[in-house]
Amino acid sequence: MIDLENKVAIITGGTRGIGLEIARTFIENNAQVILFGSKKETVEKAIKELKQEKKEVKGYYPNLNNIDELEKIVQEIYEKYGHIDILINNAGMTANQKIENTTQEEFMKIMNLNVTAIFNMSKVVIPYMKKQKSGVILNTSSMVSIYGQPSGVGYPASKFAVNGITKSLARELAADHIRVNAVAPGIIRTDMIKNLPQEMIEPLIQTIPLGRIGEPKDIANAFLFLASPMADYITGVILSVDGAARN
């Protein structure tokens, strides 16, 4: 067990899938977790689910592209707890359409959530971490940030940007004792994968040398490690958690 006692963690996109599992794992390791979700109902549903598991959690549903709204909420969190130790930028969306079928508006929607929201959240949290002279920022990247994908160009483009933000902020913030890393998941058993027929899942498994699809817990454990004192000398890293899949 990694002890995150007295650590305050903000997790965007924390209401389902990988984000919810990260929240669950951090709470199990004694962190105070604050979930950010896109809608009131999804935040309330996630909080209810975690409380049924005897896990205490708080939640908000801000517009991640409204920096004024984010500043007010983050200030409220800081005033309540006195510190913000971990920021996990997990909110995101994917895409799989060919470029000729993708509008500029659709492309920008992906970039706004997957990239601009990370900039915004980091910008409003970093001043508090600088004041503390400590902090951890973790971003969700993807295996496609390394290999690209055959369609849906906005998604890998956004994740390449996530890697750039991660590596650059790691260098910028090192003197303030703020570490910045990212986790790049491979094929993970989220709702989308669960709904695929077995005949579609089997070929996916064949591309993974470890012989299985990843579980949300595999990704949550990677985030837990990077957030913990065990990773105190790790910054600017994009950690692939993909079973050695190479697509």
So which residues are the catalytic ones? 155
Handedness of CA 142, 147, 149, 153 (dihedral sign): positive
Outline where DSSP puts E strands in the chain: 8-12, 32-36, 58-60, 86-89, 135-140, 178-185, 238-241
Q: Which long-range contacts (CB under 8 A, 24 or more apart) does 145-148 make?
A: 145/184, 145/238, 146/184, 146/238, 146/240, 147/246, 147/247
DSSP letter for each residue of 57-101: -EEE---TT-HHHHHHHHHHHHHHHS---EEEE---------GGG
Alpha-helix residue ranges (DSSP H) falling in 82-153: 104-111, 117-132, 144-147
